[in-house]
Structure 1
Amino acid sequence: MFTYYNNVREVLEMNVYTTEKIRNVVLLGHSGCGKTSLVEAMAYLAGQTTRMGTVADGSTISDFDKEEIKRQFSIHTSVVPIEWDNVKINILDTPGFFDFVGEVEEAVSAADAAIIVVSGKAGIQTGTKRAWEICEKYKLPRMIFVTDMDIDNASFKDVVLKLQELYGKKIAPFHLPIRENEKFVGYVNVIQQRAKRWNESGGVDKFDVPEYSKENLGICREALVEAVAETSEEFMDRYFGGEEFSDDEIRAALRANVLEGSIVPVLMGSNILARGMYTLMADIVKYLPSPEKRSCTGINTKTNEVYNADYDFAKSKSAYVFKSIVDPYIGKYSLIKVNSGVLKTDDVLYNYHRDCDEKIGKLYVMRGSKVEEVKELHAGDIGALAKLTKTLTTDSLSTRNMPVTYLRTSISKPYVAMRYKAKKKGDEDKISQSLQKLLMEDLTLNSVNDSENGQTVLYGIGDMQLEVVASELLEKYKVEIELMRPKVAFKETIRKKSDVEYKYKKQSGGHGQYGHVKMTFEPSGDMDTPYVFEQTVVGGAVPKNFFPAVEKGIAESVKKGPLAAYPVTGIKAVLYDGSYHPVDSSEMAFKVATQQAFKKGIMEAKPVLLEPIATLKVVVPEGYTGDVMGELNKRRARVMGMNPTDNGYQEIVADIPYLELYGYNATLRSMTSGSGTFSYEFARYEQAPDDVAAKQIEERASKLVEVEE
């Protein structure tokens, strides 16, 4: 994960930037829209690299992990600081695949603004809309950058029109493309009303706006001026009076509008040709806010009062850990955003959540895979701390005198499950330790030891994410796991009453074994409790000192029932009679007699299989509801209702057997072009249909033999 030269990590020195000279910008968008190659072009233009890397060659700054290079898409968020016009732009390059949404959520928590990247060829995609929704949720000022403008069938106009259809008048193109002989050669600046053409040296030559661009320029310019007019009564009066606004007045008004989200600039360019990045970086500096323009509040844990950090360098030191990187060779890096004060080398910070001090040693900033030392980090900046012993992602760091805690980032909960086991015996402990490191990096992963079903289950956001985990375990930690369909926790119960007896008698020289029980088994009515045991023995037919052995026999028997070796629940067992031998009777004999009576009694009391039922909530755009409900019916689900949610989405609520949840994630995404999401929670157990029960009993026959043995 880090750059090595002769086994020595490359550590560079970076300049220190004050709060007003910092921009924290997250790149969001659909997978494959060009976020990573955009970072590459920006870094190249800023003089930070001598040549542009490509995703295809695996040579980009931000996609440096072996898995990313192999798969040719981003898996982790990476930070790339770009120095431009004496300003440090911290670019957070995020994955586009929804499986890695946790990386996006962490990055957004550290950003002060966003650039939504859209391919001019592919147009508006599910990831574009999801990016917009994230910006709305976190109230992030944003720009839209349209890539792929060098491709013949790319259409800037179509993208803008679709954006305006979705989000209204706030969509404001700042530039219009100029094509000559089907080649992307320049652009019209809408604010300046001037055309510019790229020249051989990488600069631009000014020229007259082409005739074919004048109509669109007029429309875009009018929209900008109208937006400016709405910022004050004075401007509105001047607008209706037919006065022109100066370029500086337009820019000042736009800056305020972009900050509050009432204007979203649309820019465009070509990542491959590194065109459009100059204006993009200039506009990031001009229009997107520095941290000092954003609010940031925590809680002073001494006084329980609100602490207005607000990225003020003069206040007490505090920081928020928004992401962790765990490397098998050099340990852990905690990525932080400084929320107040100025962090310096060898500062000691207090972690309120873990009640411990952390000596931070050296300060670093990340540049993709490289770490660069920095003397201090000012409020609002993003940096990295090495080898913090107890601090985890979403923890807060501050001073003991002013202990501050910040609201933890809300990370998506995983619902896609796969059972896993070691391919090589003896690797179990190593796999467990390695997985813990991956779980520390990715909060959307969860490993659960399901002892009831004898399995370990890995939960994630999607199947691809779990495949990547298996691949990373092999690549980074040299351990191999096999992913399989998880077992479903069926249970057994009874529907009738049975009356049985069993006599266990064994003679093999010396003392024999003798235990004799007469018992009834019936439904207890309490499906949450495996069994209820009672005894109504009279006359000492079974002595009291053997009652615990009888109950122990039941307690062991309910772990694996006689129908399909699943746990038994909801039974009432009554010992009402039996007999004993003054010499040969023992606790073991009565336990064995009870276990055999249990098998016989359950099988005579109309045993049935119970399957777990989940309450499922599926959120999809309204147009997909019919297809989704049809698919749910195929999975034996019962649709309970529909509730409208935000942005034209519908929430479908259904009861569904756990058995039918396997593979649902892939089906839902395919059916809704990736726009559908789901969640579920356990509801209850229900009797399984005969065909499902018969299949389970057949599949579990070998387990019954094991129980017999």
Structure 2
Amino acid sequence: MNVYGTKQIRNVVLLGHGGAGKTTLAEAMALITGAVSRMGKITDGNTISDYDKEEIKRQFSISTTLIPLEYQGEDGPIKINLLDTPGYFDFVGEVEEAISVADAAVIVVNCKAGIEVGTYKAWELCEKYKLPRIIFVTNMDDDHASYRELLLRLEKEFGRKIAPFHLPIRENEKFVGFVNVVKMAGRRFTVNSDYEECEIPEYSQKNLGIAREALMEAVAETSEEYMERYFSGDEFTQEEISSALREHVIEGNIVPVMLGSGINAQGAKMVLQGIDKYFPTPDRYECIGVDVSTGERFTAKYNDNVSLSARVFKTIVDPFIGKYSLMKICTGTLKPDSNIYNVNKDTEEKIGKIYLLRGKDVIEVPELKAGDIGAVSKLSVTQTGDTIALRSAPIVYHKPEISTPYTYMRYKPKTKGDDDKVSSALSKLTEEDWTLKAVTDTENHQSLLYGIGDQQLDVVVSKLLNRYKVEIELSKPKFAFRETIRKKVEVQGRYKKQSGGHGQFGDVKMTFEPSGDLETPYVFEETVFGGAVPKNYFPAVEKGVAECILRGPLAAYPVVGLKATLTDGSYHPVDSSEMAFKMAATLAFKKGFMEANPVLLEPIASLKVTVPDKFTGDVMGDLNRRRGRVLGMNSNHNGKQIIEADVPMSELFGYNTDLRSMTGGMGTYEYEFSRYEQAPGDVQKREVEERASKVDRTEA
């Protein structure tokens, strides 16, 4: 593939609901540009994008795939870096990585299915990142697809920005072509996206007039001169129309709507033309970061005539094709066989060859210029989010904003002794996917796997088996309860043992009471009078308490909020020892704790749920069923409400699936640990019964 300059590059992300037709459109565009000689099909498992075994098996995209295409544009050849993203929400991290390097987006909408949750989410992401966009309506070959109804819904949901550039032509209830509203011309498909001119059907004239008028108004709004000409009845030239529309599309004031049939490769050429005409080149934007040498904000235009800087936005770790770091060149030119400086890690690395990845195909290139996207293999320390620059000009660019995973399950290797293999395999998967986290919960002696949703965790289990030949089992995690007491008690602990020779003797009187501070496990004090217990045994008594609070007598959970006071006791001048007093304190603790009205404390999460207005009642009702306390509700001024509530952590298990079900996938949530609160009686009873075998009931 040729080397392309900044002004010849278009970085375009494909967005949309799962199953809308993004991968099929990518295949059609690859066919039209000659990147492939025949279109692959998702059902046949031979598409460029979905090459992973899991994607072929499940027949949907799991990872973002880069597909570089060469296209002969109006003003010469251009390179389109197409980023085909997953549509299912569990893989949103892949979408966020792709969007972080995209300069524009094509939102794919299935005409029959209409506006789906993924369409809204794609639109919201484009608004958040201020990405120019085109909507491509696919599946127009379906007899039950109503383009007119879809247009009305698009305008209702997304406002006057929606501008139909195409209207369909149907004959005998079959989709055969389209009307180009910008050029006021009919197009009849011949082979794939190729077409011949045709008459505009009579039935299209009314809708064409409305669409055309809206476009001309948009063109007029680009300047006062155009506005005057428009009102005086002047016609704009085709060049003036295209130029004005491009400005509006780039600014996000107009969102063109195009149409076609991905499976028949119809309309793909029009999308390519739209990308060439209406989408910006990378140099329209600035790279924003921090100059490490000064700590000041750094901005630069995409420019290949200055020193090198680039940011790694994705890592691929494949056991067959190896490790690749995908990066977008921000400034300068990346050349092979050179040293690069990783600013985040303060390390130099040697790079060999430079590649483009097209699906699983690796294409070597002589260099990459600013604004382009490519890959380098086998970097040892460089990870996703790192910045490559010169040591003399250390710039750090912002890392991609990736969603935080809140769904988690406990995992165990199926085969004993596979812990190291599982750990190694998971580290490779987490390097690829930032929304995946493997965490060791030492308190509950469990390993936890965090992800965006259950589907993602299911894919991880499958990948571990197929890629790395290790099996894990997922199960419900244990939750970190605590134990404390509710009243003050005074007890004696007496330890006496005689076994020939020196015996063991320790005797303590202690009070146990709530300390009032649940953040601190225990407070130890002594008020011994007259040397009843020698001072040198005080540390041993405290040690006995300190060891006991690790596993409480109620349900073997850690103890918090305890105040232990040594008040009295007795000793033997020969038989007393530190161990004897430690054991005496242990006896006192076990007896006193169970007499002091012991209770279980459960972890409480501070939860925020963001949902469209119409779902607030259902969500609040569900939170009440989960023993949650709704604290308030605020509008985010985008037709959504943010519900704040306190909910027991144990009740949030499975919440991701339930929330999606309640809100049709529109609801999102986040939470953080807040505090501990006393668990209800039925919860305490169940926990105590379940953990009875873990409690140390033996007398010391």
Band the TM-score falls in, shorter-chain normalisation: over 0.9
The offset of 1:304, in angstroms, is: 3.9
Bigger mean CA offset, 659-668 vs 307-316: 307-316
Change (3 A) 1:498 1:245: same
Establish whether residue 327 from structure 1 lines up as the match of residue 318 from structure 2.
yes
Aligned to 2:524: 533
The offset of 1:185, in angstroms, is: 0.7
Task: Identify the match of residue 268 of structure 1 among 254, 259, 262.
Answer: 259
Change (3 A) 1:559 1:341: same
Alignment of 1:188-203 (within 5 A): 188-200=179-191, 203=194
- Whole-angstrom CA distance in 2 between matches of 1:616 and 1:99: 20
Establish whether residue 144 from structure 1 lines up as the match of residue 135 from structure 2.
yes
Aligned to 1:66: 53
Conserved in 1, the CA contact under 8 Å of 2:409 and 2:477? yes
- Whole-angstrom CA distance in 2 between matches of 1:546 and 1:108: 65
Aligned to 1:560: 551
The offset of 1:458, in angstroms, is: 1.5
Alignment of 1:159-308 (within 5 A): 159-200=150-191, 203-308=194-299
Conserved in 1, the CA contact under 8 Å of 2:104 and 2:280? yes
Aligned to 1:40: 27
Alignment of 1:565-644 (within 5 A): 565-644=556-635
- Whole-angstrom CA distance in 2 between matches of 1:539 and 1:329: 76
Residue by residue, what CA displacement relative to the aligned partner does 1:158-179 show, whole Å, maximum 9, x if unpaired? 2211111112221111111111
Change (3 A) 1:546 1:624: same
Establish whether residue 684 from structure 1 lines up as the match of residue 662 from structure 2.
no
Conserved in 2, the CA contact under 8 Å of 1:309 and 1:315? no
Task: Identify the match of residue 447 of structure 1 among 422, 438, 452.
Answer: 438
Bigger mean CA offset, 122-131 vs 542-551: 542-551
- Whole-angstrom CA distance in 2 between matches of 1:467 and 1:508: 59
Task: Identify the match of residue 93 of structure 1 among 81, 84, 95.
Answer: 84
| Letter matched to residue 33 of structure 2 | A
Change (3 A) 1:688 1:201: closer
Aligned to 1:497: 488
Establish whether residue 411 from structure 1 lines up as the match of residue 402 from structure 2.
yes
| Letter matched to residue 309 of structure 2 | S
Establish whether residue 352 from structure 1 lines up as the match of residue 339 from structure 2.
no
Task: Identify the match of residue 111 of structure 1 among 102, 108, 125.
Answer: 102
Establish whether residue 385 from structure 1 lines up as the match of residue 376 from structure 2.
yes
Bigger mean CA offset, 508-517 vs 215-224: 508-517
The offset of 1:29, in angstroms, is: 0.7
Task: Identify the match of residue 513 of structure 1 among 496, 504, 513.
Answer: 504
Conserved in 2, the CA contact under 8 Å of 1:317 and 1:343? yes
**Aligned to 1:564, what secondary structure does the other structure show?**
coil
- Whole-angstrom CA distance in 2 between matches of 1:214 and 1:360: 59
Establish whether residue 364 from structure 1 lines up as the match of residue 355 from structure 2.
yes
Aligned to 1:18: 5
| Letter matched to residue 397 of structure 1 | I
Aligned to 1:11: none
The offset of 1:209, in angstroms, is: 0.4
Establish whether residue 671 from structure 1 lines up as the match of residue 644 from structure 2.
no
- Whole-angstrom CA distance in 2 between matches of 1:112 and 1:665: 31
| Letter matched to residue 199 of structure 1 | T
The offset of 1:450, in angstroms, is: 1.3
- Whole-angstrom CA distance in 1 between matches of 2:699 and 2:529: 32
The offset of 1:509, in angstroms, is: 3.1
Bigger mean CA offset, 141-150 vs 436-445: 436-445
Aligned to 1:543: 534
Bigger mean CA offset, 332-341 vs 699-708: 699-708
**Root-mean-square deviation (Å):** 1.4
Conserved in 1, the CA contact under 8 Å of 2:192 and 2:264? no
The offset of 1:648, in angstroms, is: 0.6
- Whole-angstrom CA distance in 1 between matches of 2:698 and 2:102: 57
**Aligned to 1:613, what secondary structure does the other structure show?**
strand
The offset of 1:21, in angstroms, is: 1.1
Residue by residue, what CA displacement relative to the aligned partner does 1:537-579 show, whole Å, maximum 9, x if unpaired? 2233222222221111111100111111111111111111222
Change (3 A) 1:707 1:640: farther
Residue by residue, what CA displacement relative to the aligned partner does 1:30-61 show, whole Å, maximum 9, x if unpaired? 11101111111111122221221111121110
- Whole-angstrom CA distance in 1 between matches of 2:36 and 2:201: 35
The offset of 1:244, in angstroms, is: 1.4
- Whole-angstrom CA distance in 2 between matches of 1:201 and 1:565: 69
Conserved in 1, the CA contact under 8 Å of 2:493 and 2:586? no
The offset of 1:586, in angstroms, is: 2.4
- Whole-angstrom CA distance in 2 between matches of 1:230 and 1:201: 36
- Whole-angstrom CA distance in 2 between matches of 1:564 and 1:84: 68
Q: Alignment identity in percent?
A: 62
The offset of 1:511, in angstroms, is: 3.0
Residue by residue, what CA displacement relative to the aligned partner does 1:454-508 show, whole Å, maximum 9, x if unpaired? 1121111111111111211111111111111111111111111111112122223
The offset of 1:532, in angstroms, is: 0.7
Runs of 4+ residues over 3 Å off in structure 1: 303-308, 705-709
Bigger mean CA offset, 504-513 vs 205-214: 504-513
The offset of 1:582, in angstroms, is: 2.8
**Aligned to 1:272, what secondary structure does the other structure show?**
helix
- Whole-angstrom CA distance in 2 between matches of 1:585 and 1:518: 15
Conserved in 1, the CA contact under 8 Å of 2:32 and 2:268? yes
The offset of 1:201, in angstroms, is: 7.7
Residue by residue, what CA displacement relative to the aligned partner does 1:311-330 show, whole Å, maximum 9, x if unpaired? 11111111011111112345
Establish whether residue 464 from structure 1 lines up as the match of residue 455 from structure 2.
yes
Residue by residue, what CA displacement relative to the aligned partner does 1:116-156 show, whole Å, maximum 9, x if unpaired? 11000100011101101100111111100011111111122
The offset of 1:297, in angstroms, is: 2.6
- Whole-angstrom CA distance in 1 between matches of 2:300 and 2:379: 23
- Whole-angstrom CA distance in 2 between matches of 1:60 and 1:593: 72
**Aligned to 1:671, what secondary structure does the other structure show?**
helix
Conserved in 2, the CA contact under 8 Å of 1:22 and 1:89? yes
| Letter matched to residue 478 of structure 1 | K
TM-score, structure 1 as length reference: 0.96
- Whole-angstrom CA distance in 1 between matches of 2:329 and 2:161: 32
Conserved in 2, the CA contact under 8 Å of 1:418 and 1:459? yes
The offset of 1:200, in angstroms, is: 4.6
The offset of 1:294, in angstroms, is: 2.1
**Aligned to 2:443, what secondary structure does the other structure show?**
helix
**Aligned to 1:585, what secondary structure does the other structure show?**
coil
Aligned to 1:482: 473
Residue by residue, what CA displacement relative to the aligned partner does 1:212-259 show, whole Å, maximum 9, x if unpaired? 111111111111101001001111011111111122211110011111
Aligned pair count reads: 696
The offset of 1:646, in angstroms, is: 3.6
**Aligned to 2:39, what secondary structure does the other structure show?**
coil
| Letter matched to residue 624 of structure 2 | N
- Whole-angstrom CA distance in 2 between matches of 1:168 and 1:347: 50
Can you give the 5+ residue segments of structure 2 that lack an aligned partner in the other structure? none
Bigger mean CA offset, 615-624 vs 445-454: 445-454
**Aligned to 1:309, what secondary structure does the other structure show?**
strand
Task: Identify the match of residue 29 of structure 1 among 16, 20, 33.
Answer: 16
Change (3 A) 1:359 1:225: same
The offset of 1:588, in angstroms, is: 2.1
Change (3 A) 1:49 1:564: same
The offset of 1:87, in angstroms, is: 1.2
Establish whether residue 79 from structure 1 lines up as the match of residue 70 from structure 2.
no
**Aligned to 1:453, what secondary structure does the other structure show?**
coil
Establish whether residue 401 from structure 1 lines up as the match of residue 400 from structure 2.
no
